[in-house]
Amino acid sequence: MNRVINNPDLVVEDMLRGILAAHPELHAAPENPRVVSHAHARQKDRVGIVTGGGSGHEPAFIGYVGRNLVDAVAIGEIFSSPTAKSFFEAFKAADSGAGVACLYGNYAGDNMNVKMAIKLAEREGIRVRTVVANDDAASAPKDEIEKRRGVAGEIVMWKVGGARAAQGATLDEVIASARKAVDSTRSIGVGLSACTIPAVGKANFVIKDGEMEVGIGHHGEPGILVQPTVPARDMARLMLDRLLPDLPFARGDKVSVLLSGLGATPVMEQYILYGEVAEYLREAGIDIQFSFVGNLFTSLEMMGVTLTLTKLDDELSACLAHPCQSIGLNVGDAR
Amino acid sequence: MNRVINNPDLVVEDMLRGILAAHPELHAAPENPRVVSHAHARQKDRVGIVTGGGSGHEPAFIGYVGRNLVDAVAIGEIFSSPTAKSFFEAFKAADSGAGVACLYGNYAGDNMNVKMAIKLAEREGIRVRTVVANDDAASAPKDEIEKRRGVAGEIVMWKVGGARAAQGATLDEVIASARKAVDSTRSIGVGLSACTIPAVGKANFVIKDGEMEVGIGHHGEPGILVQPTVPARDMARLMLDRLLPDLPFARGDKVSVLLSGLGATPVMEQYILYGEVAEYLREAGIDIQFSFVGNLFTSLEMMGVTLTLTKLDDELSACLAHPCQSIGLNVGDAR
C-alpha cells in the first residue's frame, strides 16, 4: 500500500483539514468538525439542502457543498455513515426556517442515522423531509427497488434539489423535484480492481487482473456478474443493456449522462467509454442533453467506472442548466 | 493490465471521439482530427492561445481549451509530441490576425515541432511567439534551468496567458505575462507507482511498493531520489524544501498552490497532502491566495502527486481570478 497519508486512522480528519484550507467558502460547524456548510447556506426563505455519507468517495459528498447545490454535509468515516448527531447538526447548519431537504443514499446506517436526526430536529422545530436515492440498478431486482443502493445518481439529485431551492421552491416542491430526479435515474458500475481502506491495510475484496465485476457497489458490494474484461465498446453496451430497459429509457427520450471514474481509471479511459456510450445512445434514438465526465463519485483508488442516465423533462433540464459552483461540479453562468 | 479501452493503438482517437461528443463547444479541425479548438476561438483582435503535447495527461492538454483559456490545441500520441503540421494548424485555428501565443512545455519533440510549425506559419503571415514552460525544479540544476521540463505549471501559464488575451493585451504583452508566470513558478513531482502505455502493455519503469521517487517526470523520467515512502507531512516538507529555495519563495510572498494527482491517487489523499503543504507554508510566512487541487495534469494511472507554487504579483493575481471555463479548470464569474 503506497499512499499519501499520515496516520491511517485519521485520514478523514487530515483530509478535512486540507479541504477547509483550500476552500475558504466551506466552514466546519463550531463544535462538530464532521459537519461542513457553505458560506451561502441559510439564505433567508431558502430551503436548505443537506446530504451526508461515508468518506472515500471524494469529491462526494463534501465536494458538492457549494453555490446552488448542497448547503451542509454530514461526514462519516471511510465507507461508514455519519452519526445521527452529525446529520442533525447539518440540518441546523442548513435551515433558515424554510425547512431542510435531506437528499442521501440508501444504506442501512444512513437510513437509521437520518431517522434519528429527524427526531432531534423535530424537537427543535426544524422541518426535515428526505429523498433516498436508489439509482443503482444492479443492486436489487426492479420489483425490490426500495432495496437498491444510491450511487452517483445522487449528484443529479443534489443538482436538481439545489437548483429548485435556489429558484425559490418550497420544501414540498424541492422534495418532489429531487424525488423525480431519483425516479428518472438509473446507474450501474463496473469494477476493474479493488481498493484498500488505509486503516485496514488490505483490500476486503478481490478483482482478478483481466476480469471485471459488473454491477459492483461503491464499497465493493458484490456485483451481478464477474467476467473477462471486454473492450470499452462492449462494456458500454453491457452497461446500457442493463440500464435502458430498467427505467425504461426509450427512443425519443432526452437524457443526461454522468460517467464517473471510480478513482484510478484515467480520464482518458473515461472519455473512451463515454464515446461508446454516446454512440450506442445515438443508435437507440436517445438524445443526450447534458454530459458530465470525470472523477465525480469515487471509491478510493478503485479502477472502474459508473454510468448514470437520467430521463429529462423540461423541469429537470432547467435544473441541470442552472448555474452552480462547487469542488465537484461547476455549471457556468455564461454557458 | 485492466483497462477501459478498445484497440490499444487507437486510444487517442477513441478518447477524442468521446471528448468531442461530451463537449459540443470543442471542434476538431476539418482536415486534422489532432487539432481541437474552442467555439470562442478567433475572436476579433484577440491574441490566440495555443498549446500542445502528448496525450495521457488528461485533462491536460485538451481539457484547458476553453473560455478565456487555451483557444486551440495540438494533440500527440501518448507521451509523444504532436506533429509540426498539427501545431501549425492549431495556430491557424487560433489566429484572428492579432497573432498567436504558443505556450508549451520544454520537451525535445515539442521544441522541434513548434519551431517547424512557426516557419510554416510565417509563410502564411501568422505571427507566433512562444513561451516554453520549464517549471519542473527537479529536472535539472538551477544553473541549467533551460534544460528543465515543463509540468503542471503549464496550467498557470495557460490561465495567465488566456486571461491577458481576454483582457485585450497585445501579443507581446501576453507573452510577457505568460513568461512572468513561468519564471515565477516551480513544480516537483513524487511518484508512488509506474504507469502503463496501453500499446506497450507493461510499465517502462518500476517503483517498488513502499518506495517513492522524488522528482519523477510526467512520463516516468527518473527523479533525483528513491527512498522509502514517508507520511504525507514529510512528503510535503520534502517537496517544499526543494521548491522554496529554488525560486526562491520568501516570508511575506503571496502564492498560488496547484496540487495535482498523477492519475490513481485518490482525491482524499490529494487534500491530505494539501493540508500539510498549507501548514508548512503558513509556518514559513507564505500567504496562499489561490488553491487548485485535483487530477489536473496526470500521467495515465500513475500514483503520485505534483506540487506547483507560483509567486504572485498584482498582475498574476488578477489573471488567476479572471473567470474561465473548461474541462480542467473553472473560475466562476460570481466568486
Tell me which residue in B193, B212, B267 faces A295 most closely, judged by beta carbons: B267
CA B153 from chain centre, in angstroms, equals: 6
Rounded to a whole number of angstroms, the distance from the CA of A119 to the nearest CA of chain B is: 32
Chain B residues within 8 A of A294 when measuring between CB atoms: 295, 327
| Interface contact flag, B264 A301, Cβ < 8 Å | yes
CA distance B207 to chain A (A): 10
Closest residue in B to A211 (Cα) is B2
What does the pLDDT read at residue B333?
A: 74
Sites in chain A below the pLDDT cut of 70: 1, 334-335
CA B97 to chain centre: 26
Confidence of residue B190 (pLDDT cuts 50, 70, 90): very high
- The mean per-residue pLDDT over the stretch B143-150 comes to 96
3-state secondary structure of A219: coil
Yes or no: is domain A8-183 CATH 3.40.50.10440? yes
Instruction: Please judge whether B267 and A1 are an interchain contact, meaning their C-beta atoms are less than 8 angstroms apart.
Output: no
Domain limits, chain B: 8-183, 185-312
Q: Which amino acids of A are annotated catalytic?
A: 57, 219
Helix, strand or coil, per DSSP, at residue A123: helix
Å between B229 CA and nearest CA of chain A: 7
Closest Cα in chain A to B55? A268
Chain B hits for A17, CB-CB cut-off 8 Å, are 275
Kindly identify which residue of chain B lies nearest to residue A289, measuring between CA atoms: B22
Q: Which CATH number fits domain B185-312: 3.20.20.450, 3.40.630.30, 3.30.70.330, 3.30.1180.20?
A: 3.30.1180.20
| Fold (topology level) of A185-321 | Hypothetical Protein Tm841; Chain: A;domain 3 (3.30.1180)
Q: Coil, strand, or helix at residue A133? A: strand
pLDDT in tens, A264-310: 999 999 999 999 999 999 999 999 999 999 999 999 999 999 999 99
- Chain A, window 153-212: residues with a beta carbon less than 8 angstroms from a chain B beta carbon: 192-193, 207, 209-212
Q: Would you say residue B335 has pLDDT above 50?
A: no
Contact A36, A18 (CB under 8 A): no
- Residue A73 Cα, gap to closest chain B Cα (Å): 16
pLDDT tens digits along B89-132: 999 999 999 999 999 999 999 999 999 999 999 999 999 999 99
The complex scores an ipTM of: 0.97
Q: Span B226-250, mean pLDDT?
A: 98
Any B CB within 8 A of A224 CB: no
Q: A330 and chain B: CB distance < 8 Å anywhere?
A: yes
CB-based contact A330 B335, cutoff 8 Å = no
Q: Which of residues 251-280 of A touch B (CB under 8 A)?
A: 263-276, 278-279
